[in-house]
A = this chain, B = another copy of it.
Amino acid sequence: MTVTKAVEDLANAFRRLSGVGPKTAQRYTFQLLARDRVAAAQIADTLKFAIDHVSHCKRCNNFSESPTCRICASPSRDESKLCIVETPADLTSFEDTGVYQGLYFVLMGRISPLEGIGPDDLGINELMETLSNHPVKEIIIATNSTVEGDATAEFLTKMLAKHGYHATRLARGLPLGGEIEYMDKGTLIEAFQRRIPA
């Protein structure tokens, strides 16, 4: 925009969001300054507050405003189980199912050479510290079923084995409601090879 510097600076700041190009950054800037200054203030304020107050739970590495998060602090969780997930959103997905009552560890990402994220950029040191302070009986590696998620899971499996831990991973196969006609080859091959008693 051939406009004032403050507007250009704001559009450039929005471009730092992943997946946001010049057009989207311009759209956000225009909307907030021309039509919705209330939303603008809301974003600025909540962002500033989060920067100042949100850190990581020292046990599970999830976002937390207190040193230990609500889940890790809960007395009703099974401390003998640890489920390793990529992101807080993945944790929420499992919590929504109610299938799991153990604790979590949030890697805050996955190994991704394209994004320049190696093992050292994930919370591996924090994971090992958590394991030495709170030994667990079962570790479930619940990374995404993607190339990057699988690479992360393999790295974790090897590393945990070195320290004497045996981990499990999520089952692979047809998702519920999955129609074979529309399923990708990889899933069909896994579903065939890992077939279960009828």
Contact = CB atoms under 8 A, between A and B. Distances in A.
A88 B30 contact: yes
Interface residues of A, number: 61
Given A40-B47, A41-B51, A47-B44, A17 B13 contact: no
B34 A91 contact: no
A51 B44 contact: yes
Interface in A1-36: 1-7, 9-10, 12-14, 16-19, 24, 26-36
A41 to B, nearest CB: 6
Contacts of A24: 19
- Determine the main DSSP class of A at the interface with B: helix
Contact of A2 (B31, B32, B34, B92): B92
A109 interface: yes
B2 A46 contact: no
Contacts of A92: 1-3
A10 B95 contact: no
A36 B34 CA distance: 27
A16 B40 CA distance: 9
B108 A47 contact: no
Interface of A: 1-7, 9-10, 12-14, 16-19, 24, 26-37, 39-51, 53-54, 62-66, 69-71, 87-89, 91-92, 95-96, 108-109
5 contacts: A2-B95, A7-B50, A13-B39, A16-B39, A19-B27
